[in-house]
Amino acid sequence: MITLRRLTKRYGDTTAVRDLTLDVAPGLVTGFLGPNGAGKSTTMRMILGLDRPTGGHALVGGRPYAALRHPLREVGALLDAGALHPGRSARRHLLAMARSNGIAARRVEEVLATVGLEGVAGRRAGSFSLGMGQRLGIAGALLGDPAVLMFDEPVNGLDPDGVRWVRRLMRSLAAEGRTVFVSSHLMSEMQLTADRLVVIGKGRLIADAPVAEVIAGSSRNAVRVRSPHAPRLAERLETAPAPGPGAKVEVARVADGELLVTGLPLEEVGMAAHAVGAPVLELSEVKASLEEAYMELTGTSVEYGASTPGAERHP
Protein backbone atom coordinates (compact mmCIF):
# COMPACT_ATOMS: atom_id res chain seq x y z
CA MET A 1 0.00 0.00 0.00
CA ILE A 2 1.18 3.51 -0.80
CA THR A 3 -0.47 6.27 1.22
CA LEU A 4 -0.30 9.94 0.24
CA ARG A 5 -1.77 12.57 2.54
CA ARG A 6 -1.88 16.22 1.48
CA LEU A 7 1.43 15.62 -0.28
CA THR A 8 2.81 18.91 -1.61
CA LYS A 9 6.07 19.92 -3.27
CA ARG A 10 7.07 23.43 -4.24
CA TYR A 11 10.17 24.42 -6.18
CA GLY A 12 10.39 28.19 -5.75
CA ASP A 13 7.31 29.59 -7.49
CA THR A 14 6.37 26.25 -9.06
CA THR A 15 4.03 23.96 -7.16
CA ALA A 16 4.90 20.59 -8.72
CA VAL A 17 2.55 18.57 -6.45
CA ARG A 18 -0.38 20.10 -4.63
CA ASP A 19 -2.27 18.58 -1.71
CA LEU A 20 -2.34 15.06 -3.11
CA THR A 21 -4.32 12.59 -0.98
CA LEU A 22 -4.81 9.02 -2.19
CA ASP A 23 -4.14 5.35 -1.48
CA VAL A 24 -2.55 3.00 -4.01
CA ALA A 25 -3.95 -0.41 -3.08
CA PRO A 26 -2.30 -3.84 -3.22
CA GLY A 27 -3.40 -6.49 -5.72
CA LEU A 28 -4.03 -3.96 -8.48
CA VAL A 29 -2.11 -2.23 -11.23
CA THR A 30 -2.70 1.49 -10.70
CA GLY A 31 -1.85 3.67 -13.69
CA PHE A 32 -0.48 7.13 -12.91
CA LEU A 33 -1.37 9.55 -15.69
CA GLY A 34 -1.01 13.23 -16.39
CA PRO A 35 0.37 15.62 -18.98
CA ASN A 36 4.07 16.49 -19.13
CA GLY A 37 5.05 18.40 -16.03
CA ALA A 38 1.93 17.27 -14.09
CA GLY A 39 4.05 16.12 -11.14
CA LYS A 40 4.16 12.32 -11.60
CA SER A 41 7.93 11.91 -11.26
CA THR A 42 8.06 14.36 -8.36
CA THR A 43 5.36 12.34 -6.56
CA MET A 44 7.24 9.09 -7.15
CA ARG A 45 10.50 10.66 -5.98
CA MET A 46 8.84 11.80 -2.74
CA ILE A 47 7.44 8.29 -2.14
CA LEU A 48 11.02 7.02 -2.49
CA GLY A 49 12.46 9.64 -0.18
CA LEU A 50 14.48 11.21 -3.02
CA ASP A 51 12.66 14.54 -2.65
CA ARG A 52 11.47 16.00 0.61
CA PRO A 53 7.80 17.10 0.63
CA THR A 54 7.08 20.77 1.32
CA GLY A 55 3.90 19.59 3.05
CA GLY A 56 2.01 16.40 3.83
CA HIS A 57 3.55 12.95 3.68
CA ALA A 58 4.01 9.75 1.67
CA LEU A 59 4.06 6.30 3.29
CA VAL A 60 5.03 2.88 1.97
CA GLY A 61 3.42 0.01 3.88
CA GLY A 62 2.43 2.55 6.54
CA ARG A 63 5.90 4.00 7.09
CA PRO A 64 7.93 6.81 5.53
CA TYR A 65 10.62 5.54 3.16
CA ALA A 66 13.39 6.80 5.44
CA ALA A 67 12.11 4.52 8.23
CA LEU A 68 12.34 1.33 6.13
CA ARG A 69 15.17 -0.93 7.33
CA HIS A 70 15.78 -2.69 4.02
CA PRO A 71 14.10 -0.36 1.52
CA LEU A 72 14.70 -2.55 -1.57
CA ARG A 73 12.91 -5.43 0.14
CA GLU A 74 9.83 -3.28 0.69
CA VAL A 75 9.64 -1.09 -2.38
CA GLY A 76 11.24 -1.56 -5.79
CA ALA A 77 11.32 1.20 -8.34
CA LEU A 78 12.31 1.97 -11.88
CA LEU A 79 12.57 5.74 -12.13
CA ASP A 80 15.38 6.51 -14.53
CA ALA A 81 16.65 3.47 -16.42
CA GLY A 82 19.75 5.39 -17.49
CA ALA A 83 20.86 5.97 -13.90
CA LEU A 84 23.45 3.22 -13.57
CA HIS A 85 27.22 2.84 -13.73
CA PRO A 86 27.93 2.42 -17.47
CA GLY A 87 31.22 0.54 -16.92
CA ARG A 88 29.69 -2.11 -14.69
CA SER A 89 28.20 -5.32 -16.04
CA ALA A 90 24.49 -5.89 -15.48
CA ARG A 91 25.29 -8.70 -13.04
CA ARG A 92 27.78 -6.63 -11.03
CA HIS A 93 25.32 -3.72 -10.93
CA LEU A 94 22.64 -5.98 -9.43
CA LEU A 95 25.12 -7.73 -7.10
CA ALA A 96 26.16 -4.35 -5.67
CA MET A 97 22.50 -3.45 -5.09
CA ALA A 98 21.85 -6.86 -3.46
CA ARG A 99 24.86 -6.62 -1.16
CA SER A 100 23.94 -3.20 0.18
CA ASN A 101 20.40 -4.40 0.97
CA GLY A 102 21.17 -7.77 2.54
CA ILE A 103 19.74 -9.69 -0.43
CA ALA A 104 21.18 -13.14 -1.33
CA ALA A 105 23.40 -13.18 -4.45
CA ARG A 106 21.38 -16.02 -6.04
CA ARG A 107 18.44 -13.63 -6.28
CA VAL A 108 20.45 -11.71 -8.91
CA GLU A 109 20.42 -14.73 -11.24
CA GLU A 110 16.67 -15.14 -10.66
CA VAL A 111 15.80 -11.57 -11.65
CA LEU A 112 18.21 -11.66 -14.62
CA ALA A 113 16.25 -14.68 -15.86
CA THR A 114 12.89 -12.98 -15.15
CA VAL A 115 13.79 -10.01 -17.35
CA GLY A 116 15.53 -12.12 -20.01
CA LEU A 117 19.03 -10.68 -19.58
CA GLU A 118 20.88 -13.89 -18.48
CA GLY A 119 22.70 -14.12 -21.80
CA VAL A 120 24.14 -10.60 -21.61
CA ALA A 121 24.60 -10.28 -17.84
CA GLY A 122 28.40 -10.04 -18.22
CA ARG A 123 28.24 -7.13 -20.66
CA ARG A 124 28.82 -3.52 -19.66
CA ALA A 125 25.49 -1.86 -18.89
CA GLY A 126 26.74 1.17 -20.84
CA SER A 127 26.61 -0.88 -24.05
CA PHE A 128 22.94 -1.79 -23.53
CA SER A 129 20.18 -0.63 -25.85
CA LEU A 130 17.38 1.50 -24.38
CA GLY A 131 15.16 -1.59 -24.08
CA MET A 132 17.87 -3.67 -22.38
CA GLY A 133 18.46 -0.78 -19.95
CA GLN A 134 14.74 -0.75 -19.13
CA ARG A 135 14.85 -4.50 -18.45
CA LEU A 136 17.88 -4.05 -16.19
CA GLY A 137 16.05 -1.27 -14.32
CA ILE A 138 13.05 -3.56 -13.87
CA ALA A 139 15.38 -6.33 -12.62
CA GLY A 140 16.67 -3.89 -9.99
CA ALA A 141 13.11 -3.09 -8.91
CA LEU A 142 12.29 -6.80 -8.52
CA LEU A 143 15.54 -7.67 -6.73
CA GLY A 144 14.28 -7.40 -3.15
CA ASP A 145 11.00 -9.23 -3.93
CA PRO A 146 9.14 -6.15 -2.60
CA ALA A 147 5.41 -5.83 -1.91
CA VAL A 148 5.33 -2.38 -3.51
CA LEU A 149 6.59 -1.63 -7.03
CA MET A 150 6.75 1.68 -8.86
CA PHE A 151 7.63 2.11 -12.50
CA ASP A 152 8.05 5.47 -14.25
CA GLU A 153 7.39 4.97 -17.98
CA PRO A 154 8.51 1.30 -17.99
CA VAL A 155 7.73 0.64 -21.65
CA ASN A 156 9.72 3.61 -22.87
CA GLY A 157 11.96 2.35 -25.69
CA LEU A 158 10.65 -1.21 -25.68
CA ASP A 159 9.65 -2.98 -28.90
CA PRO A 160 6.10 -4.44 -29.16
CA ASP A 161 7.29 -7.76 -27.75
CA GLY A 162 8.87 -5.93 -24.80
CA VAL A 163 5.71 -3.87 -24.24
CA ARG A 164 3.65 -7.07 -24.01
CA TRP A 165 6.17 -8.57 -21.67
CA VAL A 166 5.97 -5.56 -19.31
CA ARG A 167 2.16 -5.68 -19.45
CA ARG A 168 2.13 -9.36 -18.41
CA LEU A 169 4.74 -8.74 -15.73
CA MET A 170 2.69 -5.90 -14.17
CA ARG A 171 -0.46 -8.03 -14.25
CA SER A 172 1.27 -10.99 -12.64
CA LEU A 173 2.91 -8.83 -9.94
CA ALA A 174 -0.51 -7.44 -9.04
CA ALA A 175 -2.04 -10.94 -9.12
CA GLU A 176 0.54 -11.94 -6.50
CA GLY A 177 -1.00 -9.27 -4.27
CA ARG A 178 1.65 -6.60 -4.76
CA THR A 179 1.01 -2.88 -5.10
CA VAL A 180 1.94 -1.83 -8.65
CA PHE A 181 2.04 1.92 -9.40
CA VAL A 182 3.02 2.73 -12.97
CA SER A 183 3.20 5.99 -14.88
CA SER A 184 2.75 6.12 -18.63
CA HIS A 185 1.77 8.39 -21.49
CA LEU A 186 0.58 5.43 -23.58
CA MET A 187 -3.17 5.40 -23.04
CA SER A 188 -3.88 2.33 -25.15
CA GLU A 189 -1.31 0.43 -23.09
CA MET A 190 -2.73 1.68 -19.80
CA GLN A 191 -6.23 0.64 -20.90
CA LEU A 192 -4.89 -2.91 -21.28
CA THR A 193 -2.68 -2.97 -18.18
CA ALA A 194 -4.26 -0.97 -15.38
CA ASP A 195 -7.18 -1.75 -13.05
CA ARG A 196 -7.35 1.73 -11.54
CA LEU A 197 -6.15 5.14 -12.63
CA VAL A 198 -4.85 8.13 -10.78
CA VAL A 199 -4.86 11.20 -13.04
CA ILE A 200 -3.15 14.43 -12.04
CA GLY A 201 -2.80 17.78 -13.78
CA LYS A 202 -0.68 20.71 -12.67
CA GLY A 203 0.07 18.80 -9.48
CA ARG A 204 -3.59 18.32 -8.50
CA LEU A 205 -5.67 15.15 -8.34
CA ILE A 206 -8.12 15.01 -11.26
CA ALA A 207 -9.37 11.41 -10.99
CA ASP A 208 -8.83 8.35 -8.82
CA ALA A 209 -11.11 5.58 -10.08
CA PRO A 210 -11.31 2.20 -11.84
CA VAL A 211 -10.38 2.38 -15.55
CA ALA A 212 -13.94 1.45 -16.57
CA GLU A 213 -15.34 4.31 -14.49
CA VAL A 214 -12.96 6.85 -16.04
CA ILE A 215 -13.99 5.72 -19.53
CA ALA A 216 -17.70 5.66 -18.63
CA GLY A 217 -17.39 9.33 -17.62
CA SER A 218 -16.47 10.37 -21.16
CA SER A 219 -18.98 12.31 -23.21
CA ARG A 220 -17.73 10.30 -26.20
CA ASN A 221 -19.76 7.28 -25.11
CA ALA A 222 -22.74 7.11 -27.45
CA VAL A 223 -25.34 4.92 -29.07
CA ARG A 224 -25.28 4.46 -32.85
CA VAL A 225 -28.65 3.81 -34.45
CA ARG A 226 -29.44 3.31 -38.13
CA SER A 227 -32.98 3.54 -39.42
CA PRO A 228 -34.70 4.52 -42.68
CA HIS A 229 -36.86 6.79 -40.47
CA ALA A 230 -33.88 8.44 -38.76
CA PRO A 231 -35.33 12.02 -38.89
CA ARG A 232 -38.52 10.94 -37.14
CA LEU A 233 -36.50 9.05 -34.51
CA ALA A 234 -34.15 12.04 -34.03
CA GLU A 235 -37.09 14.30 -33.34
CA ARG A 236 -38.46 11.89 -30.74
CA LEU A 237 -35.04 11.51 -29.05
CA GLU A 238 -34.47 15.26 -28.92
CA THR A 239 -37.65 15.76 -26.96
CA ALA A 240 -37.00 12.78 -24.64
CA PRO A 241 -36.65 13.71 -20.97
CA ALA A 242 -33.03 13.74 -19.79
CA PRO A 243 -32.18 10.60 -17.79
CA GLY A 244 -30.99 12.54 -14.75
CA PRO A 245 -30.19 15.95 -13.32
CA GLY A 246 -27.45 17.67 -15.31
CA ALA A 247 -27.72 15.07 -18.09
CA LYS A 248 -28.45 16.16 -21.63
CA VAL A 249 -29.58 14.15 -24.63
CA GLU A 250 -27.78 15.04 -27.86
CA VAL A 251 -28.47 13.62 -31.28
CA ALA A 252 -25.95 13.96 -34.10
CA ARG A 253 -26.96 13.10 -37.66
CA VAL A 254 -23.69 11.48 -38.76
CA ALA A 255 -24.86 10.09 -42.10
CA ASP A 256 -28.01 9.54 -44.08
CA GLY A 257 -30.15 7.30 -41.88
CA GLU A 258 -27.59 7.18 -39.07
CA LEU A 259 -27.70 8.91 -35.68
CA LEU A 260 -25.22 9.13 -32.82
CA VAL A 261 -27.03 9.62 -29.52
CA THR A 262 -25.33 10.74 -26.32
CA GLY A 263 -26.94 10.97 -22.90
CA LEU A 264 -29.36 8.03 -23.26
CA PRO A 265 -28.83 4.31 -22.66
CA LEU A 266 -29.11 1.96 -25.63
CA GLU A 267 -32.37 0.44 -24.33
CA GLU A 268 -34.11 3.82 -24.34
CA VAL A 269 -32.99 4.58 -27.89
CA GLY A 270 -34.43 1.21 -28.91
CA MET A 271 -37.72 1.92 -27.11
CA ALA A 272 -37.95 5.36 -28.76
CA ALA A 273 -37.50 3.75 -32.19
CA HIS A 274 -40.27 1.31 -31.36
CA ALA A 275 -42.55 4.11 -30.13
CA VAL A 276 -42.31 6.03 -33.42
CA GLY A 277 -42.46 2.89 -35.56
CA ALA A 278 -38.94 3.34 -36.95
CA PRO A 279 -37.38 0.06 -38.13
CA VAL A 280 -33.93 -0.38 -36.58
CA LEU A 281 -31.14 -1.62 -38.87
CA GLU A 282 -28.39 -1.14 -36.28
CA LEU A 283 -28.34 -0.33 -32.58
CA SER A 284 -24.92 -0.40 -30.95
CA GLU A 285 -22.83 1.18 -28.24
CA VAL A 286 -19.87 3.35 -29.23
CA LYS A 287 -17.41 3.20 -26.35
CA ALA A 288 -14.95 6.00 -25.71
CA SER A 289 -11.30 5.03 -25.56
CA LEU A 290 -9.25 5.79 -22.50
CA GLU A 291 -7.36 8.29 -24.61
CA GLU A 292 -10.57 10.21 -25.35
CA ALA A 293 -11.65 10.14 -21.70
CA TYR A 294 -8.17 11.24 -20.63
CA MET A 295 -8.06 14.13 -23.11
CA GLU A 296 -11.38 15.42 -21.75
CA LEU A 297 -10.23 15.11 -18.15
CA THR A 298 -6.90 16.83 -18.63
CA GLY A 299 -7.92 19.33 -21.31
CA THR A 300 -7.50 22.35 -19.05
CA SER A 301 -4.46 20.99 -17.20
CA VAL A 302 -2.01 20.77 -20.06
CA GLU A 303 0.96 22.92 -19.13
CA TYR A 304 3.04 22.57 -22.27
CA GLY A 305 0.37 22.39 -24.98
CA ALA A 306 1.18 22.95 -28.63
CA SER A 307 -1.27 24.57 -31.00
CA THR A 308 -2.42 22.38 -33.86
CA PRO A 309 -1.44 23.87 -37.22
CA GLY A 310 -4.54 24.64 -39.24
CA ALA A 311 -6.85 24.06 -36.25
CA GLU A 312 -8.44 27.47 -36.75
CA ARG A 313 -9.26 26.73 -40.35
CA HIS A 314 -10.63 23.25 -39.65
CA PRO A 315 -12.32 23.50 -36.27
Ligand X SMILES: Nc1ncnc2c1ncn2[C@@H]1O[C@H](COP(=O)(O)OP(=O)(O)OP(=O)(O)O)[C@@H](O)[C@H]1O
CB atoms within 10 A of CB 221: 16
- Determine, following the binding rule CB under 6 A, whether residue 284 of this chain makes contact with ligand X: no
Beta bridge partners of 209: 197
- Determine, following the binding rule CB under 6 A, whether residue 83 of this chain makes contact with ligand X: no
> Closest separation between CB of residue 11 and ligand X, Å?
3
Residues 10, 19, 26, 37: which binds ligand X (CB under 6 A)?
37
Residue closer to ligand X, measured from CB, 16 or 249: 16
> Closest separation between CB of residue 113 and ligand X, Å?
31
Residue closer to ligand X, measured from CB, 45 or 178: 45
Taking each helix axis from N to C end, the angle separating 90-100 and 130-142, rounded to the nearest 10 degrees, works out to 20
Look at residue 5 and give its three-state secondary structure: strand
- Determine, following the binding rule CB under 6 A, whether residue 80 of this chain makes contact with ligand X: no
Residue closer to ligand X, measured from CB, 21 or 36: 36
- Determine, following the binding rule CB under 6 A, whether residue 134 of this chain makes contact with ligand X: no
Mark the segment that binds ligand X (CB under 6 A) among 35-43, 93-101, 117-125, 249-257.
35-43
- Determine, following the binding rule CB under 6 A, whether residue 298 of this chain makes contact with ligand X: no
Residues 1, 11, 116, 188: which binds ligand X (CB under 6 A)?
11
Look at residue 248 and give its three-state secondary structure: coil
Beta bridge partners of 23: 3
How many positions of this chain bind ligand X (CB under 6 A)?
11
Mark the segment that binds ligand X (CB under 6 A) among 11-19, 91-99, 173-181, 207-215.
11-19
Side chain identity, residue 240: A
Side chain identity, residue 146: P
At residue 166's C-alpha, the angle toward residues 109 and 21, to 5°, is: 110
Residue closer to ligand X, measured from CB, 37 or 217: 37
Residue closer to ligand X, measured from CB, 238 or 303: 303
Distance set, CA 253 to CA 3, 224, 231, 246, 269 (Å):
48, 10, 9, 23, 14
Looking only at residues 38 through 77 of this chain, which bind ligand X when binding is defined by CB under 6 A? 38-42
Distance CA 279, CA 228 (A): 7
- Cβ neighbours for 202, distance < 8 A, ≥ 6 positions apart: 15, 18, 37, 38, 39, 301, 303
Residue closer to ligand X, measured from CB, 7 or 117: 7
**Which of 10, 2, 16, 141 is closest to 58 using CA atoms?**
2
Mark the segment that binds ligand X (CB under 6 A) among 20-28, 29-37, 131-139, 291-299.
29-37
CB atoms within 10 A of CB 167: 18
In the complex, the residues that contact ligand X under the rule CB under 6 A are 11, 14, 16, 34, 36-42
